[in-house]
Chain A
Amino acid sequence: MTDQAPPADERRRVEAQSVAAARPSHAVAMLGEAGWTRNLGLVVALAILSLVGVLTVDTFATTSNLLTVLKNASVIGVVTVGMTFVIMGGGIDLSVGSLIALASVWSTTVATQSFGAGGVWFCALTVGTVAGLINGFLIAYGRLVAFIVTLAMLVGARGLAQYISNQQTQVVKVDAINDLAASSVLGIPVLVLIMLAVFAAGWVLLNLTTFGRRTVAVGGNAEAARLAGIDVRLHTLLLYGLSGLCCGIAAVMLTAQANSGASTNGEFYELDAIAAVIIGGTLLTGGRGTLVGTFLGVMVFTVITNLFILNNLPTPIQNITKGAIIIAAVLLQRRGKSAATT
């Protein structure tokens, strides 16, 4: 294998070229005007929603409500970071919700809880990452379609979670875990800080490291990336592992919030996560996207839920509105994009 690959120096040079070719407007998209036009639809949607909130409910614009919104966005927010990487790398991960269920159940069994908070964290992160790596291994080295592999994991992981928990809600007695959701640092809830840290780490990884540039290259054109000397299969494996790790972190956060682990945790999170990533401007075909957009996407959905409950409105109307917002945001985005290119 080594004798076919070009020497390391050469490889790095070619790779840099191919990455540059795959994303010519990298710097512009990151900092310049194009980045903002891409997110314009979401910013407008958020602004409209906030305006509606301020006009209809007096408690909307309070600090405590805004922190609640951020807290409610935190779990799904962490999941979408991993999802953004996977989708940008040209893949899809349908298993995120089930991985959260599995990690939350595995890390809250009576046996795991006996090891305290450390045991819960270790177990959740390991289970999430390993399950993600299994996804990645089957997709990259088993040459199976990502949609199918992660669909199988969606079913299988939830099944395993049901098996372990015997389909019962496992109440968490470890105070250090439960307190995560109740405590704040400098007035900001710890869960929100964790989400912001994950987003920041993701942003650095995506925009400032070779790993990030390779993700863009692999998602943009896997064949070109391979010819440029990127180990596409290894990279794909790592992307799914990363998504699994994010699910592990999210599982602990969700467990802390609900004071319990259950096989029903994280139901339909894959749809919420994919929706947020897509309306955030990431191409479903891979190769382009931003974490800022993803964050805005998550916020739009969380603010809608908050607004509806504050206004005492029923769930069906909420779902109709969410569907309409997805379409509206994507339409606005397309218009913004074509305006930017012409």
Chain B
Amino acid sequence: MAAQLGRRGILLGGAVIGASALAACTSNEVAGGQQTSGTKVAAGDNGKPGAHITIGFSCPQADHGWIAAITKNAAAQAKLYSDVTFSPVEPTNDVAKQIAAIETLINKKVSVLVVLPNDGKQLTAIGRKAMDAGIPVVNLDRIFDTPLAYRTWIGGDNYGMGVSAGTYIGEKLKGKKDAVIAEVAGIDSLPLTQERSQGFKDALSRYGLKVTNRVAAQFTSSSGQQVTSNLLQAAPKIDALWNHDDDQGVGVLAAIKQANRNEFLMVGGAGSTDAMQVIKADNTPLKATVTYSPSMASSAISLARLIGQKKGMSDLVENEVPARITLASATITKENVDQYLALGFKS
């Protein structure tokens, strides 16, 4: 009996220790605490507290680093203003649920809405409804079908991103007519992927170059690794490779390392902190990344505040915030990486 109890005790004890060790393993806290990045309050009159406003915020559920950073940046930026009440709704990947959530914000009579739609076309009607109800809408990144549905659109430049990548590679490979240029695209059915590829193609053609091998992944590191391992087999010698997304880039780099290849230069996309650190260390083919920064969410909150308080942008002459703002895609290399590290996002 005693022996049995003892054995049970040991088993139970082992299970408890095992379970608590496992539970402890879910922590992702890095020693040294969190840094806030990708937010900023303007100096001057616009930075000073003004009329109190409520900003409603709706975006898709984070399924990878970029969207996660959008959500985080928006909340962090709103927190910097004492005159802003931030009112986010539960993120969702379902169009119908996002429409319902925005309805709630309209009914709540928030002062301004910031919306990153799951699908710009499918959410146009609800954007219009908010505008018709007198609530200005700041449309973030994925654009609505009609300007009637937003007061201001702010977003990245997917075509420009492709152009930046193509220009960087074109400059490096200028004059090399038979260059092998590979492209690892993101989810192929998305318009943004097609725009990026088009920009890349157009920029390369200015240098008389073209994409010779193109594959598409899923914006995830594991899919990036899979397609790249096959791609490297298809092209035994590559001169340059552009990968659309730094999240999947972790996998692309892993595949390159596993295949022991380093005869080419690689350019990333989006601008994650991780990619920037790799560029800074300069010990992999990844030499540059072209930005599509989630700091745009912070800027959207600032614009929403200005619109709500009926102010303009202090550096512009006009009294109103512009109707459309397209962010430029910067090229980050080893030379300027330090200046961008603060804008990076955790992949």
Contact = CB atoms under 8 A, between A and B. Distances in A.
A309 B25 contact: no
Nearest to B346: A168
Contacts of A178: 254, 257
B3 to A, nearest CB: 20
Interface in A75-112: 106-107, 109-112
B18 A310 contact: no
Interface in B175-233: 188, 213-216, 218, 220-222, 224-227, 229-233
A59 B233 contact: yes
Interface string A166-207: 111111000000100110000000000000000000000000
Given A109-B25, A168-B347, A182-B258, A262 B229 contact: no
A167 B25 contact: no
B24 A72 contact: no
Instruction: Tell which of B18, B28, B222 has the most Cβ of chain A within 10 Å.
Output: B222
Contacts of B226: 72, 257, 305
A167 B233 contact: no
Interface stretch (A63-71, A137-145, A274-282): A63-71
Given A109-B25, A126-B22, A171-B250, A309 B227 contact: yes
Number of chain A interface residues as a range: 35 or more
B347 A171 contact: yes
B236 interface: yes
Interface string B14-40: 000010001011111110000000000
A164 interface: yes
Contact of A111 (B26, B61, B253): B26
Given A164-B28, A258-B250, A309-B231, A314 B221 contact: no
Interface of A is mostly: helix
Contacts of B230: 68, 72, 305-306, 309-310
Given A68-B230, A262-B220, A265-B220, A167 B253 contact: no
Question: Top 4 nearest A-B pairs by Cβ distance?
Answer: A309-B230, A259-B254, A167-B62, A111-B27
Given A258-B251, A264-B64, 18 more contacts: A59-B234, A68-B233, A107-B25, A109-B25, A111-B25, A112-B25, A167-B61, A167-B67, A181-B258, A257-B226, A259-B253, A263-B63, A264-B220, A265-B220, A266-B222, A309-B227, A310-B230, A311-B234
23 contacts: A59-B233, A65-B233, A109-B25, A111-B28, A123-B22, A123-B25, A127-B22, A164-B26, A166-B62, A167-B63, A168-B64, A168-B347, A169-B65, A170-B28, A178-B254, A257-B225, A257-B226, A257-B251, A258-B221, A258-B222, A259-B250, A264-B222, A306-B233
Interface of B: 18, 22, 24-30, 61-65, 67-68, 188, 213-216, 218, 220-222, 224-227, 229-234, 236, 247, 250-251, 253-255, 257-260, 274, 346-347
